[in-house]
Structure 1
């Protein structure tokens, strides 16, 4: 009951930061982007490609992967510097910097850079559609992309820039560096059949990421003098449990069940 009250109170409050960066003034722009994305990848895109040959996007995808690697590495470097330097994070209770803090602009744009990257991530599914890689467009893939973008918006709109969610995003950036490095390396080995040997470890790292986020969220909720991060910790911990289940199920079916020998029927 207390959790429900927290959610209602949280959703009913006004944005805490008066600075509204692009696409963060209301729900409408982000919801329109997500609706367009879903309609294209599930209905319009497959219909358009039904009687067409897959597009050869190898050059475009290489550039996209390199851009994502550099973007995420830059976020990782600046976020690490910010958390250990001017942000002076107390990892027991991570709070947003006050509006008049000399590094508040840093905090705003670093947090926004993560949100913007979730927009760029949607292009990955568009490439799948245009290349007719329908097997890649799973429920987990689409749900993950849509959730990450909308939850990032919700966090920035209702909670503000920085704070507890900033650390949670930090781990996701590490996963993205690894993931897009894999994609780029795969594009260089197009003549090699099958996946690269370390593909499954991306899912392992993702599961570790969600485990760390869940653990830190529980730790934050145990701090009696940290009410500012309570709702963020509840949301981050709750969705981590969902993703642990979904990614564990994916790992089992992709890398464990598929490796089991099929019993012959006499």
Structure 2
């Protein structure tokens, strides 16, 4: 991808001088072979995920609301219990597996984690773990579908939808152009840990309304996510500062930018959800 941009710069092609040619050359990057030669379902072509994302957005932003307008909200209590348990177990397995790979098998230099070569004995493990992580990001889209079916429209925020779509698309693109694993692994472990706590909370809150109201630690889920994005940013920044590290600079810049953006978005969510309402109640009591 970087080579394509460099060639375009040398040739003098730009968005302003020849927008049609520029756009055509931009898409030439998708003609490049996949970074990992092993084809896997959902990641050996962009079309399956693109179709899933398109159907997801169509349902959660339009068709789902129209459908549920004619029906009562579905409780889905049993379905959600199973779904949340599956998510907790799924993420727990990934966390244990990832910790074992990074800290026990230790195929990486932790200060500069690069994608393992194809002939490395741990390559199949790296590939499989990366792949199941991507599948989990696709599975996460069901969160929003359940919100629609339960008529929880207030929870279908821009941040929620953007985050889910971004994670599914980004993990696919990283596998497509960067390959499986590398320093992305380390930051994925932060995300997996947060999801274990998050879906554990969802499971506990689904038991009953009284229990849901008694779970005082809901707001700390958002704080945990903020810590996650901060650690992701710091890890990528640290990797990028290593003078002899050949980890992809494009991936480092992408994750640093994404982490900073998500940190700002989740901070805004935390303030608007947990701080401003409290100030409003305090003013009301004072009056």
Equivalent residues of 2:107, 2:122 under 8 A apart:
no
How far the C-alpha of 1:103 sits from its partner, in A, is: 1.4
How far the C-alpha of 1:189 sits from its partner, in A, is: 3.0
Indicate the residue corresponding to 2:143 in structure 1: 124
How far the C-alpha of 1:223 sits from its partner, in A, is: 1.1
Q: Is the alpha carbon distance of 1:111 and 1:181 closer, same or farther for their aligned partners in structure 2, counting shifts above 3 Å? A: same
| Correspondent of 2:47 among 17, 28, 32 | 28
Indicate the residue corresponding to 2:199 in structure 1: 180
Does 1:155 pair with 2:168? no
Unaligned runs of 5+ in 1: none
Indicate the residue corresponding to 2:16 in structure 1: none
Indicate the residue corresponding to 1:206 in structure 2: 225
Question: When the two structures are aligned, how many residues end up with a matched partner?
Answer: 263
Equivalent residues of 1:87, 1:103 under 8 A apart:
no
Whole-angstrom distance in 2 between the partners of 1:193 and 1:116: 29
How far the C-alpha of 1:264 sits from its partner, in A, is: 7.9
How far the C-alpha of 1:56 sits from its partner, in A, is: 1.9
Please report the TM-score for the alignment, with normalisation by the length of structure 1. Answer: 0.93
How far the C-alpha of 1:7 sits from its partner, in A, is: 8.8
Instruction: Show the 5 A alignment for 1:171-250.
Output: 171-192=190-211, 194=213, 196-250=215-269
Unaligned runs of 5+ in 2: 7-25
Give 3-state SS (helix, strand or coil) of 1:85's partner: helix
Does 1:17 pair with 2:26? no
Q: Is the alpha carbon distance of 1:193 and 1:240 closer, same or farther for their aligned partners in structure 2, counting shifts above 3 Å? A: closer
Instruction: Show the 5 A alignment for 1:133-172.
Output: 133-172=152-191
How far the C-alpha of 1:8 sits from its partner, in A, is: 3.8
How far the C-alpha of 1:101 sits from its partner, in A, is: 1.0
Q: CA RMSD in A?
A: 2.1
Between structure 1 and structure 2, the one with the greater Rg is: 2
Does 1:47 pair with 2:60? no
Equivalent residues of 1:6, 1:231 under 8 A apart:
no
Give 3-state SS (helix, strand or coil) of 2:283's partner: coil
Whole-angstrom distance in 2 between the partners of 1:140 and 1:211: 17
Whole-angstrom distance in 2 between the partners of 1:65 and 1:255: 24
Instruction: Show the 5 A alignment for 1:78-117.
Output: 78-117=97-136
